[in-house]
Amino acid sequence: MKINRIDTPFPVISIDNFIPSEALVRAASESFNDVDDWVKYSGDDNQVQLCSKLGRENIPPSALLVLDYITTNFDPNKVFGLTDNAFPDTSHYGGGMMITPNSNNEGGYLGMHVDATTHGLHNNWKREYSAILCLSEEYDSSFDLRIHNGKEHGTIPYKFNTLNVFKCSNNSWHGLPEITKGMNRKTLGVMYWSIMTEEDKKTAIKARFNNDLEFK
């Protein structure tokens, strides 16, 4: 596995060929066709996104195998060299299966945003890392994740079977421009959390969008 790291605009690790079996990654990608009941984030002007319902029972077996491989074999505390004592949420709250769709001209996109600090089901859990595995073999430059810290911008390239992981903070802005070709951007996501301190609680934020940050 090849590991790449950038630190600007915020720390990101990318690991190529993360899952040893590409056949399993393809099976996980194809399993998106077996999900009928998606959570749709398309009711506002900030995103057109789909994600799987919360709970392992709502994720097909091949996709669940991939997610379990990530939680078992990736430790962000070691890779980033930090002492966050982060742990994965195996119920996949905020992660699981995710699609930015455009195969039927849905106009999938994700506005520039930061994620909520606090877990929706555990109010003493703090979001530390977001780990996203790229599943689609087809590619367009609009699949690349745009990132921003409020002053500087960057890009996380989208590549089949690459695990992209970034450190979450109140300034880890990220988003996607509208998908420009008739295809779907598919990913599997694992969120890593820590136990909040009293100081963490003072700076906790809700998810928010910032339309003033440009996509580059």
How many domains would you assign to the chain? 1
Q: pLDDT digits over 59-118, tens only?
A: 999 999 999 999 999 999 999 987 779 999 999 998 999 999 888 888 899 999 999 999
Q: pLDDT digits over 18-45, tens only?
A: 999 999 999 999 999 999 888 887 556 7
Q: Is residue 28 part of a domain?
A: yes
Predicted local distance difference test score (pLDDT) of residue 65: 97
8 Å CB contact between 140 and 184: no
Q: Is residue 186 part of a domain?
A: yes
pTM here is 0.94
CATH of the domain at 165: 2.60.120.620
Q: Is residue 2 part of a domain?
A: no
Q: From CA 175, how far away is CA 188, in angstroms rounded? A: 16
Predicted local distance difference test score (pLDDT) of residue 107: 86
Q: How many CB atoms lie within 10 A of CB 43?
A: 8
Question: Domain range spanning residue 92?
Answer: 8-209
Phi-psi category of residue 94: left, alpha or beta, with phi > 0 → left and psi -120 to 50 → alpha: left
Please give the structure tokens belonging to residue 76.
Answer: 């962000």
Q: pLDDT digits over 140-195, tens only?
A: 999 999 999 999 999 999 999 999 999 999 999 999 999 988 999 999 999 999 99
Q: From CA 61, how far away is CA 58, in angstroms rounded? A: 9
Q: Is residue 3 part of a domain?
A: no
